[in-house]
Amino acid sequence: MSGEVIGVWIGAILTLGIFSFLYKDNPFYKFSEALFVGISAGYWFVVTFWQYFVPKFWDNLALAYSELLTKGRVDYHWIYLVGGFFGVLMLLRLVPKIGWLSRWSLAFIVGTTAGLQFTRYLESNGIKQVVGTISPLLVSGNMNATIGNIIIVVGTFCGLIYFFFSKEHKGAFGGAARVGVWFLMITFGALFGYTVMSRMSLLIGRMDYLFGIWLSLY
Amino acid sequence: MRREVPLVLTAIVGITMIIAHFIPPLNILKNLFEDWFFIIAAFAIYLGILNLILINGDKIYKKQKGWPFGVVVILGFLVITVIGIFFSGGKSFQDPGTPFYYIYMNLYYPLSATMFALLAFFVASASYRAFRARNVEATMLLGAAFILMLGRVPIGYWISTWLGHTLANAADWIMDFPQLAGQRAIMIGIALGVVSSALRVILGLERAYSAGE
């Protein structure tokens, strides 16, 4: 039996193990679930090791060390030790007495994320969407575009009114908020539809694996 | 020391990241902070994994209920980690033909894809209970989801052909106009929320992350 065939058998047995939960919780499912947890942890360990830890930390330090050995000078790459220092502080969370030091690393993560997302969201989610919404309401000779643009402007405006909680949703303001809810419901319906379809497509893929690749029924 | 250092650190890093966006020479500092961020993030993932191993190790040591599954968790972790780090060609560990790729294709992918495929059954049963056209809002949600799903699958295409392509067109129209309007309102709302939250964190008004032992 070739390695490929053994792989297909392992994959099929584990697929059935997960699907067995549809009957009820059982040891076969629990085994597959535990294996999934362990393998996921290992997968992310290896990915972060080769894609972040080695290129961002190890390679830079190796470069600094070789500069020190060959040219005898202290290279700026040593500054990456600071990142490693904060990383080690993060692990100190497991040591109760000095666990508070991990907050320094957390503060760095929070600060970087806040600073990065501030400009990123303001630009892509804020300004670009507002610019996209400011379009002519009347497009001469094109009724579809005219109706479409009116729907987009009214829908976006009313949706934003719904998210404005500093004023009570009453009267004309409340009416606009209600129209906003209708647009939001259509959006949630569309998102739900796509989520169901993506799950169904995964299910079809697993069935195709079991009946087509494993059992070779077609 | 315990409270002040995190607040000062957050403010310095956050303000630098924002200023660097407007003053390009400061991008050197921004890139350095981003590299440090990835190093710390890698350690944060290791912390989580270490915690998982400790919890399962404790479960095995104390012979708690279901301890054999703890052994499976640790063995699964060790096997893929050792193979991925020592026996899969270093940085090209994800290339086809490596032992890591073999484990990914025959263990990790089937397990994760089936786990998410399982949700299809629960989504179906949940929608059966939740999707009732009780009022205008629920009817609009139901209608949009129904038209969109039917307009994107072969059976919907056959019905559409019979009806003169109206169903597929209706799905496209929903996506291009009313859905887009709602999506934009949500995106602009998120942008305003993120900007105000980021400012509160950088200015030290939001300190939840630095609280606790």
Quick check: B212 pLDDT over 60? Answer: no
The answer to whether A11 contacts B148, with C-beta atoms less than 8 Å apart, is no
Six-digit token string for B164: 């003169």
pLDDT of residue B129: 76
The whole-angstrom distance between A87's CA and the closest CA on chain B is: 4
Six-digit token string for A119: 């400009």
Q: What amino acid occupies position B97?
A: G
The answer to whether A186 contacts B140, with C-beta atoms less than 8 Å apart, is yes
Q: How many Å is the Cα radius of gyration of chain B? A: 26
Give B63-117 pLDDT, tens digit per residue.
999 999 999 999 999 999 999 999 999 999 999 999 999 999 999 999 999 999 9
What value of ipTM does the predicted structure carry?
Answer: 0.88
Exposure string over B127-166, b if 16+ CB within 10 A, otherwise e: eeeebeeeeebebbbbbbbebbbbbbeeebeeebeeeeee
pLDDT of residue B168: 84
Q: What amino acid occupies position A190?
A: A
Q: How many CB atoms lie within 10 A of CB A54?
A: 17
Q: Nearest-CA neighbor of A148 among A130, A164, A135?
A: A135
Give A10-42 pLDDT, tens digit per residue.
999 999 999 999 999 999 999 999 999 999 999
- For A202, the closest of B113, B174, B191 (CB atoms) is B113
Model confidence at B2, pLDDT cuts 50, 70, 90, reads: confident
Please, are residues B137 and B131 in contact by the beta-carbon 8 Å criterion?
no
Q: Where are the domains of chain A?
A: 135-218
**Can you tell me the distance from the alpha carbon of B147 to that of B153, in angstroms, rounded to the nearest whole number?**
10
Six-digit token string for B103: 């484990």
| Average pLDDT of the segment spanning A40-50 | 97
- For B209, the closest of A7, A110, A186 (CB atoms) is A110
The whole-angstrom distance between B1's CA and the closest CA on chain A is: 10
Give B171-189 pLDDT, tens digit per residue.
999 999 999 999 999 999 9
Of B131, B188, B196, B213, which to mutate for an interface test with A (greatest number of A Cβ within 10 Å)? Answer: B188
Give B108-147 pLDDT, tens digit per residue.
999 999 999 998 888 888 877 777 778 899 899 999 999 9
The whole-angstrom distance between A71's CA and the closest CA on chain B is: 24
Give A96-115 pLDDT, tens digit per residue.
899 999 999 999 999 999 99
